[in-house]
Structures are given as structure tokens and as C-alpha cells.
């Protein structure tokens, strides 16, 4: 059963009479049956729409996960919330060692302030920003990359605020 299925029994009929109570006024039962049918149809349409959204979300998640460029989702203070396969490979680490770290910590020491300014411009100006920096992976290899970040418009505290892609310049 999907979400909400437990709330509607497709075979249920609306209650028309209760023992010990007078019969409902004329037209009330017909109106209730009509409304019940409308609600059943609307519920079916909502279930179909939810299934379509679930399929689209899965496709979008795959696009992020298997994108040919490194991508990260950052929170409003610049910590990595998620990283795709290419990002983990670029940083030379596993997802578990990357998620939760400040994004600027992947830059070489001389470029960390530049990364901080890059993110500040992106978040405060709600702008797409591109900056060339050098990152140092867990494997000790330094790489020249261009980071391109765009603010995520529906961010709230502790959630995705910036989407960043890193293009290896070599």
C-alpha cells in the first residue's frame, strides 16, 4: 500500500442509516453518495499524481548521483549535505568522509578564503557564481577546478541552500 491508502477503503460504502436514529432527510443520502464518489475519484487522481512525482524524483536523483561532473549540495553555512559519485572521486574520499564537512575545507589553504567569498556571494546575492580554485583530495592530489554554485530557492535552516558543481580543469 502507498501513502494514504490506509485512509480509503475502495470498496467501502458511506453509512446511510444508524440503528436507533431517524432516517436522513430526502436528498441527503443521494448528495452523500455523490460526494463520496467524487472523493473516491479525487483520491485515485491524487494517488496517480503522487506515483508520477515519485518517478520524477527518482529520475532527478539519478541525474544528480550519476552526473558526469562533481556536484555537492550545501547547507546555509557551507557544509556538504550530499555529494555525487563524481564528487567523491574528485575529492578522493568516500561519501561518509565528505558529508558534513565544511566545503571550503576541500580547497588548499591559500584558496579557502576565496571559496568562502564565493559561497557568501552566492547566498547573499542569490546569484550564480563561478570561481577557479584548487582542491586537495583525501588522496593528497591537488586539482584545479572551477566551482559553479547557484542558490537553491526553497532553502530553510539546516536544508539544502546551494547546489555546487566542480569541473576539473585538467
Count other Cβ atoms within 10 Å, centred on residue 55.
10
Count of domains observed in the chain: 2
Q: What is the CATH number of the domain that holds 158?
A: 3.30.450.20
Alpha carbon distance 95, 85 (integer Å): 8
Q: What percent of the chain has pLDDT over 70?
A: 80
Query: Is 125 a residue whose pLDDT tops 90?
Result: no
Query: How large is the average pLDDT for residues 127-149?
Result: 90
Tens of pLDDT, residue by residue over 10-54, are 555 555 566 777 776 777 878 888 888 888 998 988 888 888 777
Residue keyed to cell 584548487: 134
Q: Print the domain residue range for 30.
A: 5-64
Amino acid at each position: 500500500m502507498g501513502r494514504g491508502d490506509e485512509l480509503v477503503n475502495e470498496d467501502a460504502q458511506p453509512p446511510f442509516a444508524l440503528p436507533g436514529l431517524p432516517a436522513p432527510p430526502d436528498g441527503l443520502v443521494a448528495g452523500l453518495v455523490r460526494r463520496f464518489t467524487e472523493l473516491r475519484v479525487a483520491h485515485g487522481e491524487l494517488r496517480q499524481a503522487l506515483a508520477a512525482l515519485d518517478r520524477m524524483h527518482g529520475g532527478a536523483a539519478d541525474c544528480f548521483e550519476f552526473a558526469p561532473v562533481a556536484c555537492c549540495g550545501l547547507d546555509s553555512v557551507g557544509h556538504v549535505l550530499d555529494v555525487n559519485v563524481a564528487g567523491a572521486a574528485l575529492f578522493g574520499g568516500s561519501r561518509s568522509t565528505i558529508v558534513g564537512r565544511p566545503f571550503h575545507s576541500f580547497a588548499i589553504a591559500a584558496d579557502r578564503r576565496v571559496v568562502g567569498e564565493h559561497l557568501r556571494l552566492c547566498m547573499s546575492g542569490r546569484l550564480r557564481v563561478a570561481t577557479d580554485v584548487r582542491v586537495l583530495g583525501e588522496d593528497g592530489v591537488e586539482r584545479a577546478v572551477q566551482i559553479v554554485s547557484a542558490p537553491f530557492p526553497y532553502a530553510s535552516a539546516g536544508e539544502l541552500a546551494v547546489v555546487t558543481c566542480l569541473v576539473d580543469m585538467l
